[in-house]
Amino acid sequence: MKKVLKKIGILGCLVLVSMLTVPASGDAAGITVYKDGDKYVKMGGRIQLQYHSEDEDGSETVDEVFFRRLRPYIEGSIHKDWKGKFQFDLGKATDGNEIAIKDAYMQYKGFDGFKITIGNANFPFSRELLTSSKKQQLVERTFVGDHNYGTPDRNAGIHLTGGFMDKKVTWGASIASASIDPSSSKLDFDTPVNRNSDFNEGRMFGGRVDFHPFGYLKMSQGDFKREEIKATVGVAAFNWETDEDNLVNAANVDSVTGFEVSGAFRGYGFSLDAEYNTFNSETVDSSFTGGL
């Protein structure tokens, strides 16, 4: 049987511009529409349009054009040590979730060497997931950065990030509420703020550490401007346990542990990222043998 899948991603940037005539800031991530000392309001977003085609023997070709990501956001502050951000996705709305909430958090930056984020934010595990979709070389992430294959997504909780030795060592740690969409074919993490009725609910903790021997290397693919060599190596781990509040499926997940080792190299236009993930999961019903 022949089955051909085609995907073409068209990457764009959606910028929400205020009706006020305000000079844009130099930050390419958005437009600062208001600023008064430490107070500011920034707006922006992204559009990523995708074409998907399936051509299977014995069947008609099925294709579609859809917004892989359609994410406006607003960010602001009323104090130099605080920042808030709200981002939602109109392209990923499914079933009863007309709007999928992405970032929704408050962040305190007043400590020396680390920040505290409270709300729905990225869990510090997969290097590829922590790399923003606007800084990826392709529209789709690979398996190691995809929440459908064991990588934790954004989750609601307390998230700490920091660094020392002039950021040659960076770290992140989180305690969060996280949901799993039970399935016999994949390990699919989702945020509880966009939950469906059959999601397994649970608690998760974990973190990652990265070492940058030649100086701090951002989570960003490609090397379009650098003239010096940068490299990083990192490890990460997490544990998820069900709270047994919503067990409605034969494939209900009881616990998951994950481990990652990753690395990246940038230099003179050359860019390489490598990542290895491993997961161990247990179902609530120990006799269940379906799926993975």
> pLDDT per residue over 49-81, tens digit each?
899 898 888 888 899 898 889 999 999 999 999
What is the reported pTM?
0.84
* Residues 116, 97 share a domain: no
Q: In the structure, what pLDDT confidence band is assigned to residue 34 with cuts at 50, 70 and 90?
A: very high
pLDDT digits (tens, 9 = 90+) for 260-279: 999 999 998 899 999 999 99
* Residues 145, 79 share a domain: no
CA-to-CA distance for 291 and 90, rounded, in angstroms? 31
- Report CA-CA distances (Å) from 276 to 51, 120, 142, 221: 29, 25, 11, 17
* Residues 154, 225 share a domain: yes
CA-to-CA distance for 233 and 139, rounded, in angstroms? 24
Measured between alpha carbons, how far apart are the two ends of the chain, in Å? 24
Is residue 7 over pLDDT 70? no
* Residues 224, 205 share a domain: yes
Q: In the structure, what pLDDT confidence band is assigned to residue 13 with cuts at 50, 70 and 90?
A: very low
What mean pLDDT is reported for the chain? 86
Q: Domain range for residue 267? A: 111-292
* Residues 97, 55 share a domain: yes
* Residues 125, 72 share a domain: no
* Residues 211, 92 share a domain: no
DSSP strands (E only) in the chain: 3-12, 31-36, 39-56, 62-77, 82-89, 100-108, 114-122, 154-164, 169-181, 188-190, 200-211, 230-242, 253-267, 270-283
* Residues 147, 14 share a domain: no
* Residues 275, 156 share a domain: yes
- What is the tally of structural domains in the chain? 2
* Residues 135, 70 share a domain: no
The winner for highest mean pLDDT among 59-63, 108-112, 219-223 is: 108-112
